[in-house]
Amino acid sequence: MSELPFSVSCPTCRKTVVWNEESAYRPFCSKRCRDVDLGAWSFEEYRIPGAPVAPEDLPDEIDEEDKPH
């Protein structure tokens, strides 16, 4: 199994990136995608992909709900 190429998804564009010496910008697929991600960080616009959290979904009263009244 160790001969199978390890691959990841580019954090910027989700393109499959083979994790080897040829992928100089891994886990990004290209220098452009890496720069986009770093730029997003610097402008504080980076968001965790696929994990949006709405304020109303936060369990702020979970302790009260777990207690028997």
Binding site listing:
10, 13, 29, 33
User: Do residues 32 and 25 touch, judged by C-beta distance below 8 A?
Assistant: no
CB of residue 44 to Zn ion, shortest distance in Å:
21
8, 13, 27, 40: which one contacts Zn ion (CB under 5 A)?
A: 13
- The annotated binding site for Zn(2+) is made up of 10, 13, 29, 33
Q: In the complex with Zn ion, which residue's Cβ is closer, 23 or 53?
A: 23
Cα–Cα–Cα angle for 50, 55, 58, nearest 5°?
85
Angstrom distance (rounded) from CA 15 to CA 22: 15
Q: Work out whether 10 is an interface residue with Zn ion (CB under 5 A).
A: yes
Place of tokens 């991600």: 37
Identity of residue 4: L
Rule CB under 5 A: which of 19-38 touch Zn ion? 29, 33
